[in-house]
Amino acid sequence: MTPQPGSAGDVLTLISAGSATTRSDLARLTGLARSTISQRVDALIERGLVEETESGESTGGRPPRQLRLHTEDHAFAGVDLGATHCRVALMDISGDVLAECEDALLIGEGPEKVLAHVDQRLDHLLGRAGRPRSALRAVGIGVPGPVEFATGRPNNPPIMPGWNDYPVPDYFEGVEVLVDNDVNVMALGEHREAFADTKHLLFVKVGTGIGCGIMAEGKLHRGAQGSAGDIGHIRVSGHEDAGCRCGNSACLEAVAGGAAIARRLTELGLAAETGADVVALVQSGNTQALRLVREAGRLIGEVLASLVNFFNPEVIVIGGALSRVHEHLLAGIRETVYRRSLPLATHHLSITPSRTGINAAALGAGILAIEHYLSPDNINRIVNA
């Protein structure tokens, strides 16, 4: 049900955004009577969502009481599950990181073992932050594969054997869990942390595979079934001999992903198994690795040029393992995008490396959880319970 303007959820949205710091601000912005505003604010205070302090500056008379989110009794977690790692960030309701950790973990070990590890790390971080388990309100999880967002079930993820249709949220008791594709939460984290004023943004993850998160009008665009942005399986002409793990050939990630570059370097007699090995070779000055990375950038640029013409983003952010050699990767991407896209679409376009780096997915997953919890619908349910 869509909340009415001026509901408790709407009031909290104004407070959490910093748009209103006093009851007078709320009355002015909503047009509601002061008595109604007092009812809304008192309900939020009673539920432990807002606190009011006498810290405002006086302009004569009694200082105004300041409203802010009550951070102490609320905790949220963002979980970044990669093919070989688990990164967890514990955050308060304002999005500040309280504690974080990273472990080597193979997602191919299956959901039971991986999620048991996540659950243990949540308890560990809550202990470090001095918060009880009951303070954990919501958890966001990013996984390296397609997800049906409404149910939190992975959908035939190629590098996640045993995860297909697994009900991830059901594993955790007493806390709401949201599951999304990792590049979607990367896009959300990057947008909120570094490009909050940008309405249209593409976040391109270039790692073992290649994916794209789409921010449209400042909101994540997932598509009808949650598969929007799966650019790694767009066909690249002239590479029909490159087989892809999806069963097709000539997919972008099969010719320009980290695994594909590593495979080509191996064929040239160099020791490379992963995207991290490719990065190490580039950083050591290996000219063959540098050439292949720049060539991969050009191929990625061909696909992005079409997306620029179609979507007209303001910013394209490049993240993932290969972004650590972004000066070479971005050179190839920019070269093709600016040559192949319409001048009007690229007039104010910025193509830039990720500013949140390795923390993008964990931060984004935590923000996903916080924004869900603070949504007007959810807050109204809490207040009216």
pLDDT given at position 227: 85
Task: Tell whether 385 is covered by a domain.
Answer: no
- Same structural domain for residues 173 and 244? no
HSE at residue 18, side-chain half, CA atoms within 13 A, is 1
Query: Is residue 144 within 8 Å of residue 106, measured between CB atoms?
Result: no
Q: Are residues 115 and 221 in the same domain?
A: no
- The DSSP line for 176-202 is EEEEEEHHHHHHHHHHHHH-TT-SSEE
Is residue 265 domain-resident? Answer: yes
Domain-embedded: residue 16: yes
Q: Are residues 102 and 36 in the same domain?
A: no
Round to whole Å and give the CA distance between 276 and 279: 5
pLDDT in tens, 279-324: 999 999 999 999 999 999 999 999 999 999 999 999 999 999 898 8
For residue 208, the enclosing domain spans 195-355
Identify which of 374, 384, 337 has the alpha carbon closest to the alpha carbon of residue 49: 374
Model pLDDT for residues 63-73, shown as the tens digit of each residue: 678 999 988 88
Residues 209 and 137 reside in one and the same domain? no
Find out whether 378 and 370 touch, Cβ atoms under 8 Å: no
Output the pLDDT for position 61: 59
Can you give the pLDDT at residue 13? 93
Q: Is residue 284 part of a domain?
A: yes
164 and 255 inside one domain: no
| Residue 383 belongs to some domain of the structure | no
H helices of the chain, in order, are 8-16, 23-30, 34-46, 111-129, 168-171, 182-194, 252-256, 258-267, 275-283, 287-311, 326-340, 343-346, 360-373, 376-384
Please give the share of the chain, as a percent, with pLDDT higher than 90.
80
CATH code of 120's domain? 3.30.420.40
Please provide the size of the chain in residues.
Answer: 385
| CA separation for the pair 223, 237 (Å, rounded) | 26
For every residue of 279-333, DSSP letters joined together read HHHHHTT-HHHHHHHHHHHHHHHHHHHHHHHHH--SEEEEESGGGGGHHHHHHHH
Tell me, yes or no, whether 235 and 349 share the same domain.
yes
Is 384 a domain residue? Answer: no
Does 131 map to a domain? yes
| Same domain assignment for residues 202 and 344 | yes
For the chain, the domain total comes to 3
Q: Do 291 and 157 reside in the same domain of the chain?
A: no
CATH code of 38's domain: 1.10.10.10
User: Which of 22, 39, 70 represents a domain boundary (last residue)?
Assistant: 70
The answer to whether residues 98 and 233 belong to one domain is no
Confidence bin at 138 (pLDDT 50/70/90): very high
**pTM for the structure as a whole:** 0.91
Same structural domain for residues 266 and 229? yes
Are 344 and 245 in a shared domain? yes
Write the CB contacts of 190 (distance below 8 Å, at least 6 apart in sequence): 201, 203, 317, 319, 354, 355, 356, 360, 364
For 323-382, write each residue's pLDDT tens digit: 888 899 999 999 999 999 999 999 999 999 999 999 999 999 999 999 999 999 999 999
Q: Is the pLDDT of residue 99 over 50?
A: yes
**Is residue 217 domain-shared with residue 272, that is, in the same domain?**
yes
